[in-house]
Amino acid sequence: MPSNLRNNFWFLILSLLSFLLFLANLGFGSVMLPWDQVIKALFHSTHADATALIIVNQYRLPQAITAFSTGILLSMSGLVLQTLFRNPLAGPSVLGISSGASLGVAVVLLSGSIVGVDMSSLPVVGNLAVILAALAGALLVLGIILFVSARVANVITVLIIGIMLGYAVSAVVSVLQFFSGSEDLHAYVLWGLGSFSKATVRQSFLLLFTALGGMLILFFYIKPLNALLLGEDYARNIGFQPLRIQRVLIFVTGILVAVGTAFTGPIAFLGLAVPHLARATFKTSQQGVLLPATILMGIVLALFCNLAAKLPGYDISLPINAVTSLVGAPVIIWVIIRNRHVQLR
Amino acid sequence: MLKINGLTTGYNIGRKAGMVLQENMTAVVKTKQLICVLGPNGAGKSTLLKTLSGFLKPLSGKILYDDKPIDKLDLKTLARLVSVVLTDRFSDLYLTAFDVVRMGRFPYVSFLGKMRPSDVDFIHETMEKLGVISLKEKPFYNLSDGERQKVLIARALVQDTPFLMLDEPVAFIDSPGKIEIMELLTSLAHDQGKAVIMTTHDMDTGLRYADSLWLIHRQKPLLTGIPEDMVLQGRVGEYFQRPGLLFDREKGIFRSSRKTGKDRGIIFVRLMGREAQWLAKALERNGFTVKAAHDLPEKGYFAFFEGGIFYLSQNGCKPEKFSDIASLLSVLLKRFDV
């Protein structure tokens, strides 16, 4: 079948791109290293240069793994949420989970100037406190969403409540921002711009395992997700329990997004845009094709954005959110223009 | 066999008492039958269908599939008993007709959704039989209403269930398409031994095709029977009754009880052959009262059709010739309206 051939072609290209971009992420940075040094350092060869060892293994590798994992986490969550809510504009941010993470971080980073105890300034604890606060905030919002979704039968209601919750939480953050000092505010704004370089080696591997674990769980939900494409009644007619599937998947994607956001800050657009790119490239709605496609494209896009943000050869780097938005916004616009001929309902 | 015992349908709104649509319904559905659930808009036809399919919980009463209560059947078992064709639309841009049909096999395949060759063959055979195999790779949203309906029926058929439930399957379909789909449903019931239950608000469809008619109405009990008896006993008229409408038991249609146009008087027509029938219809529509007659009466107008020509004569005079009904009508109207 030609569509099968096309799919395999794209899978091959994307896998290759992922590999090359991963290597490029290790090879390029503000310091120019010769490639043989990069490879030697990566394999801890005895001939490796000491500086190269540190730069590659302590800085570039965890950053590349973080970008790789976040690409997986956010884009596959986006796909699942779009299918679940049957809404092309759903994404990891709509459930209010990243807003929840922001609230947690805002409390930690901004509380100093308000209460007088600055948790983030404590050494070692600082980074961890931010991560834990983000996780706590995200899980708090997820808990509320799950509590609500157990009580309303309509999944769209859950979506709307998630968006509203996001607004409410952001309002609290604004109040905190208003009363905090400029230094703390700067730290908070920096966190909000997102970064793949904050995670340590260990943390980056934790992210990777979360991503792989999430992938494994979601692969078992391909069939129910396909069934939900026809709506809840048809899904039920072919033997699925839509309400249960929705709750499980909101929980799973919620956890994935919460963990991702905790280590990288809120990353804009990846989760929203990548599933659309995958659909447009593979021209299918079959979740069995779209899930791996979205994962691969998420990896490619995240690694590409990270590379672009690093501005190889320059001393400075751009905030990752600026780059993902610059790539993501045109994708969304393109999707809307493409769909303008399609009339639904 | 499907038994419905004292079933009350409706919605539960929050914790408040529900909105009751239908109360205390009792009926039996046997296989090899096409059942039309007929009722005016808003009577609760779709709600009944969704309750029977297990999407909505009954407010009270029992639904028994082969003597097992529906709430005791797990979803997998129910999926092999009942398949549905609903009015929902799907919004996915890339969902093809084949994608839609293949979902019907989900109750039979592994949890990863991998189809066996026999499943794929069955899907192809079914799509071929319904004449939608050529639409296989087309996006579902791009299909016409008639094509969509057939694809959805194909989806239900590959689910291979003894019960098939359809919600308004011919509501937006043009007349030839309507006949095609109704013939298909009839054959599924009579030849393949399925129990086909469909809702419709279209009385003509119900009266013409149903083996059994279920009349439903918000304020009246469920009534079941064969369509002909229902018409003769005046039940159809009663259930669709609306002020200003009268049910014509001879023709099985409603007409206005008010005289909308002028009452133009009596025309005698020799009611033989289909041309004469259509002539009578045109005359009635224009406010004439048609009376059957065989030969020229001494007084009044007489019309008949013979050898490809329409004739009209007045008070027994020599008839005038007309090539079609329109020209006859215009002459007649001129004389009456002066």
Three-state SS letters, B114-148: CCCHHHHHHHHHHHHHCCCHHHCCCEHHHCCHHHH
Q: Do B89 and A239 touch (CB under 8 A)?
A: no
Mean pLDDT of A303-326: 87
- Chain B contact set for A4 (CB, 8 A): none
Rounded Cα distance between B50 and B248, Å, is 32
Q: Which of B55, B88, B141 sits opposite A342 (nearest CB)?
A: B141
User: According to the model, what pLDDT value does residue A292 have?
Assistant: 96
Among A231, A238, A284, select the one facing B107 at the smallest CB separation: A238
The more confidently predicted of residues A123 and A84 is A84
Q: Are B4 and B200 in contact (CB under 8 A)?
A: no
Per-residue pLDDT tens, chain B, 338 aa: give them.
899 998 988 887 655 667 888 888 889 998 899 999 998 888 889 999 999 999 988 988 999 999 999 999 999 999 999 999 998 887 778 899 999 999 999 999 987 778 899 999 999 999 999 999 999 999 998 899 899 999 999 999 999 999 999 999 998 888 899 999 999 999 999 999 999 999 998 888 999 999 999 999 888 888 999 999 988 888 888 887 777 777 777 777 777 766 556 678 889 999 888 899 999 989 988 888 888 888 877 888 999 998 889 999 988 888 899 999 999 999 988 888 76
Buried b / exposed e across A31-48, counting CB within 10 Å, b at 16+?
Answer: eebeeebbbbbbeeeeeb
In B, minimum Cα distance to A345 occurs at: B89
What residue spans of chain B are helical by DSSP H?
Answer: 45-52, 75-79, 97-102, 117-129, 145-158, 175-190, 203-209, 227-232, 235-240, 273-285, 325-337
Hey, are the CB atoms on B84 and A220 less than 8 Å from each other?
Answer: no
Asked if the C-beta of B101 comes within 8 angstroms of chain A's C-beta atoms, the answer is no
* pTM for this prediction: 0.85
Interface of A with B in 25-84 (CB under 8 A): none
Phi and psi at residue A28, to the nearest 5°:
-110, 145
Residues A199-228: tens digit of each pLDDT? 889 999 999 999 999 999 999 999 999 999
> Measured at the alpha carbon of residue A340, what is the angle toward residues A339 and A341, in degrees to the nearest 5?
90
pLDDT in tens, B3-39: 999 898 888 765 566 788 888 888 999 889 999 999 8
Cβ of B84 under 8 Å from any chain A Cβ?
Answer: yes
What is the residue extent of each domain of chain A?
A: 3-338
Structure confidence at residue A344 as a pLDDT band (50, 70, 90): very low
Write out the two tokens for A70: 């976040």
Give tens-digit pLDDT for B210-250: 999 999 988 888 899 999 998 888 888 888 777 777 777 77
Q: Which helix (H) or strand (E) holds B309?
A: strand B309-314
Q: Which residues of A touch B82 (CB under 8 A)?
A: 237
pLDDT confidence of residue B260 = 57
**By C-alpha distance, which of A275, A306, A305, A280 is closest to A292?**
A275
Nearest chain A residue to B88 by CA distance is A231
Separation between Cα atoms, residue B126 and residue B278, nearest integer Å = 40
Tell me, what's the ipTM? 0.83
Q: Is A286 helix (H, G, I), strand (E, B) or coil?
A: coil
- Of all helices (H) and strands (E), which one includes residue B225? strand B220-225
Q: Which residues of A touch B75 (CB under 8 A)?
A: 236, 239-241
Q: Does the beta carbon of A231 lie under 8 angstroms from any beta carbon of chain B?
A: yes
Structure tokens belonging to residue B21: 């649509």
> Could B99 and A229 be called an inter-chain contact, meaning their C-beta atoms sit closer than 8 Å?
yes
Q: What is the predicted pLDDT for the residue at B293?
A: 86
Q: Of A240, A241, A339, which has the smallest distance from its Cβ to B93's Cβ?
A: A339
Strand partners, B165: B84, B197
Q: Which residues of B touch A225 (CB under 8 A)?
A: none
Q: Which CATH architecture has domain A3-338?
A: Orthogonal Bundle (1.10)
Q: Which residue in chain B has the smallest CA separation from A88? A: B92
Quote the tokens at residue B248.
């014509």
- pLDDT 10s digits, A147-166: 887 777 677 888 888 888 88
Residue A345 pLDDT class (50, 70, 90 cuts): very low
CA distance A255 to chain B (A): 23
Question: Min CA distance, B56 vs chain A (Å)?
Answer: 10
Angle between helix A61-84 and helix A287-310 axes, rounded to 10 deg: 140
